[in-house]
Amino acid sequence: MVIGLCKLCREQRGLIDSHLLPKSAYKQLRGRIAGRQSPVILNPLTGTAFSSDAQVTQFLLCKECEDLFSKKGERQLGKLWSTERGFALRDSLHKLKPIASKRHVTAYNANEIADLDSLFYFAISVFWRAEVWGWEGRSNGGALGAKYSEMFRSFLLQKGEITDAYLIVSVNSNSRYDYIMSFPTARKEYGGVLHMFLVPGLRFELLIGKAIHRTLAEVFKMQGRVLINMFEFEKTPMFAQWSIFANCGADIKGKLKIQTAEIRAGREVVK
């Protein structure tokens, strides 16, 4: 155990080796890969692709705060996302009547989903962790800014509320692409700052700002702070960018390079 300052409660305590994304998410990824091989890591910053079981952890929180994150968000999320046994949230949406549909996105009435508070708390906990986190010599800090960083911390401690922050939870409709995970990123969009990450079967997008696009603002005004939709991930620009990088732009390393060469050689034999 490491003694240090807990980033959440800001008390000097024994710290837990915390995960940026849930430990169980890594288990789900490995369980979905044929032969339970190591997941493939795509890193656009270094231009590389490689297989690894490494998990991103840091001594960040005390046991009490870690347990709070589990109780309020991660534990319930584990009952909703895509697993080897099924995908409860997707099954729930299939039983509901859509309220709108456009291209590869189908929207549902978020008020018909019982676990919105847990989904919101979980998302806020991940985006806040990314704000105060550093990994691989880099830091994602600064994307929230001092105002929202403190607002999120107070909310996670159940001592305050969050304003001007709206969550979109997108459920992947194609089980073939449920085993994808990504760390939090942020970019300016829709008149605010859009924060995003993926866990098995789910994409979380948090739009922050007082001047978000009027159309979106009206939708959130009617639906509340969380929107739920089902989308075809393989038809998104993000998926196209990742596919191009994985197939053409990445410098393939280690065991993955050997496996890729064997697959290509096998295809040549078939031809």
What is the mean pLDDT for each group of 10 consecutive residues in the chain (271 residues)? 93 94 84 63 77 86 96 92 90 93 90 90 95 63 85 96 93 89 88 92 93 82 88 85 75 65 43 41
102: in domain: yes
- State the CB neighbour count (10 A cutoff) for residue 47: 11
pLDDT digits (tens, 9 = 90+) for 7-46: 999 999 999 999 999 988 888 877 555 555 777 778 777 7
* Mean pLDDT value across the chain: 84
CA 69-36-230 angle, 5° bins: 55
pTM of the entire structure?
Answer: 0.87
| Tally of structural domains, the chain | 1
pLDDT value of residue 140: 55
pLDDT value of residue 210: 84
39: in domain: no
What whole-number distance in Å separates Cα of residue 4 and Cα of residue 6?
6
Residue 112's alpha-carbon distances to 80, 105, 201, in angstroms, are 15, 18, 20
Torsion of CA 80, 154, 152, 64, to 10 degrees: -50
120: in domain: yes
pLDDT value of residue 266: 44
67: in domain: no
Give the DSSP H or E segment for 101. strand 100-102
pLDDT value of residue 257: 62
268: in domain: no
150: in domain: yes
262: in domain: no
- State the CB neighbour count (10 A cutoff) for residue 118: 18
What whole-number distance in Å separates Cα of residue 238 and Cα of residue 87?
22
Tokens 């697959």 sit on residue: 263
106: in domain: yes
pLDDT value of residue 259: 56
Which residue range(s) make up the domain with 129?
82-235
CA 129-134-138 angle, 5° bins: 135
